[in-house]
Amino acid sequence: MRTIRLTMAQALLRFLDQQYISIDGQETKFVQGVMGIFGHGNVTGIGEALEYSAGDLTYIQGKNEQGMVHAATAYAKQKNRKQIYACTTSIGPGALNMVTAAATATVNRIPVLLLPGDNFASRQPDPVLQQLEMTSDYTVSSTDAFKSVSKYWDRIVRPEQLISAATQAMRVLTDPAETGAVTLALPQDVQAEAYDYPEAFFDKKVHYIDRRPAAQEAVGRAAAVILGKKRPLLIAGGGVLYAEATKELAAFAEAFGIPVAETQAGKSSMAWNHPQYVGAIGVTGALAANKLAKQADLIIGVGTRYSDFTTASKSAFANDEVQFININISGFDSSKLGGISITADAKEALHSLRETLSFLDYSCEYETGYIATLKDEWDREVDRLYKAACDEGFAQTNALGVINETIDPSSVVLCAAGSLPGDMHRLWRSTEPRTYHMEYGFSCMGYEVSGAFGAALAEQEREVYAIVGDGSYLMLHSELVTSLQEGQKFTILLFDNHGFQCIHNLQRSQGSEGFGNEFRYREAGTRRLTGSYMPIDFAAHARSLGAKSYKATNPEELKAALLQAKQETVTTLIEIPVVPGTNTGGYESWWNVGVPEVSESAKVVAAHEEMKKNIQAAKLI
Q: CATH code at 97? A: 3.40.50.970
- In the predicted structure, residue 619 carries a pLDDT above the cut 70: no
* Model confidence band, residue 531 (pLDDT cutoffs 50, 70, 90): confident
What whole-number distance in Å separates Cα of residue 73 and Cα of residue 95?
16
**Comparison of pLDDT for 130 and 237, the residue scoring more:** 237
- Kindly state the average pLDDT of the residues 323-330: 98
466, 580, 572: which is closest to 514 by C-alpha?
580
Asked if residue 349 belongs to a domain, the reply is: yes
- Asked if 194 and 231 sit in the same domain, the reply is no
Nearest-angstrom CA–CA distance, 434 and 242? 9
pLDDT, averaged across the chain: 94
Lowest mean pLDDT among 39-53, 288-302, 591-605: 591-605
Q: What angle do CA 111, 20, 71 make, to 5 degrees?
A: 35
Does 554 share its domain with 464?
Answer: yes
Average pLDDT over residues 72-86: 98
Q: Which of 544, 562, 577 is the last residue of a domain?
A: 577
Residue 497's pLDDT is what?
A: 86
pLDDT class of 598 with cuts at 50, 70, 90 = confident
* 257 and 136 co-located in one domain: no
Virtual torsion, Cα 345, 351, 355, 356, nearest 10 deg: 20
247-289 confidence digits (pLDDT tens):
999 999 999 999 999 999 999 999 999 999 999 999 999 999 9
Alpha-carbon dihedral of residues 467, 415, 310, 241, nearest 10 degrees? 120
* Whether 345 and 484 share a structural domain: no
Is residue 515 situated within a structural domain? no
Between CA 500 and CA 511 the distance in angstroms is 17
Q: Does 621 have pLDDT greater than 60?
A: no
pLDDT at residue 96, rounded to an integer: 97
The predicted structure's pLDDT at residue 450: 98
- Same domain? 114 vs 256: no
Per the structure, how many domains does the chain have?
3
Residue finishing a domain among 371, 402, 424: 371
Please count the helices (runs of H) and the strands (runs of E) in the chain. Answer: 24, 23
What is the percent of the chain where pLDDT is above 70? Answer: 99
CA distance 276 to 251: 10
Does pLDDT of 148 surpass 70?
yes
In whole angstroms, how far apart are CA 514 and each of 131, 223, 503, 600?
A: 42, 50, 9, 15
pLDDT score, position 505: 67
Residue 589 lies in a domain: no
Give 474: exposed, middle or buried? Use CB within 10 Å, 0-12, 13-18, 19+: middle
**Are residues 455 and 415 both part of a single domain?**
yes
Do 337 and 263 sit in the same domain of this protein? yes
- Which band of pLDDT confidence, cut at 50, 70 and 90, is reported for residue 512? confident
Residue 464, in any domain of the structure? yes
Do 177 and 253 belong to one domain?
A: no
pLDDT, residue 440, reads 94
The answer to the question of residue 102 being in a domain is: yes
Task: Report the DSSP pairing between strands 181-187 and 152-155.
Answer: parallel
Domain's final residue, options 188, 208, 228: 208
pLDDT for residue 454: 98
Q: Which amino acid is at 592?
A: N
Q: What angle do CA 528, 532, 537 make, to 5 degrees?
A: 120
- pLDDT, residue 532, reads 87
**pLDDT value at 519 more than 90:** no
Give the C-alpha separation, 251 to 241, whole Å.
15
Query: Mean pLDDT, to the nearest integer, of 581-595?
Result: 82
**Diameter of the chain by CA atoms?**
78
Could you report how far apart the first and last alpha carbons of the chain are, in Å?
Answer: 57
pLDDT value at 620 more than 70: no
Q: Is residue 561 included in any domain, yes or no?
A: yes
Residue 497: strand, helix, or coil: coil
198 and 223 share a domain?
no
Beta-carbon contacts of residue 171 (< 8 Å; ≥ 6 apart): 152
Residues 164 and 307 in one domain: no
Higher per-residue pLDDT: 591 or 423: 423
C-alpha closest to that of 196 among 1, 404, 391: 1
Q: Rounded mean pLDDT of 286-307?
A: 97
**CATH at residue 304:** 3.40.50.1220
Residues 448 and 568 grouped into a single domain: yes
Domain extent at residue 174:
3-208
The DSSP code for 514 is -
Query: What three-state secondary structure class fits 490?
Result: coil
The whole-number pLDDT of residue 610 equals: 78
Residue 152's contacts (CB-CB under 8 Å, 6 or more residues apart) are 168, 169, 171, 172, 182, 183
- With respect to residue 270, please indicate whether it lies within any of the assigned structural domains: yes
412 and 479, same structural domain? yes
Please give the pLDDT value at position 498.
Answer: 80
In a domain, 286, yes or no: yes
pLDDT for 543 equals 97
CB 468 within 8 A of CB 415: yes
- 533 pLDDT band, cuts 50/70/90, is confident
Over the stretch 539-562, which tens digit does the pLDDT of each residue have?
999 999 999 999 999 999 999 999
